């Protein structure tokens, strides 16, 4: 299994293979993280606790806002991360 954290400011890491909940994985620049949800291949998990409304970084850039508190090791996807861009009904922020 390979876990990729792409940039020193990133809040998430990507796994190249499925990870079962409870598995401990080594993340570069962070150390051991216990994954708390099942993570499908190609998906990402939080490498630190993120508060609701926090900006979430990948590739060293913002990929969206946390829509709820995200514990370390949790699956980060559409249920807890939302785009800040291309929203209908208003000017882009």
Residue 87 binding other proteins, by CB under 8 A: yes
> Could you give the 3-state DSSP secondary structure of residue 56?
strand
Q: Pick from 11, 44, 70, 73 the residue near other proteins by CB under 8 A.
A: 44
Is the distance from CB of 80 to CB of 73 less than 8 angstroms? Answer: no
Applying CB under 8 A, the span of 18-26, 27-35, 46-54, 55-63 interacting with other proteins comes to: 55-63
Q: Pick from 9, 22, 59, 68 the residue near other proteins by CB under 8 A.
A: 59
Neighbours of 50 (CB within 10 A): 24
Cβ of residue 92: shortest distance to other proteins, in angstroms?
5
Residue 52 binding other proteins, by CB under 8 A: no
Determine the longest span between alpha carbons in the chain, in angstroms: 43
> Which residues are at the interface with other proteins (CB under 8 A)?
2, 4, 6, 14, 16, 40-44, 58-59, 61-64, 76-78, 81-92
């Amino acid at each position: 299994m390979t876990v990729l954290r792409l940039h020193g400011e990133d809040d998430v890491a990507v796994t190249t293979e499925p990870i079962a909940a409870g598995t401990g994985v080594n993340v570069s620049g962070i150390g051991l993280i216990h994954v708390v949800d099942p993570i499908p291949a190609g998906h990402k998990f939080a490498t630190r606790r993120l508060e609701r409304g926090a900006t979430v970084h990948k590739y060293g850039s913002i990929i969206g806002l946390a829509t709820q508190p995200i514990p370390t090791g949790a699956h980060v996807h559409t249920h807890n991360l939302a785009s800040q861009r291309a929203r209908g009904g208003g000017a882009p922020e």
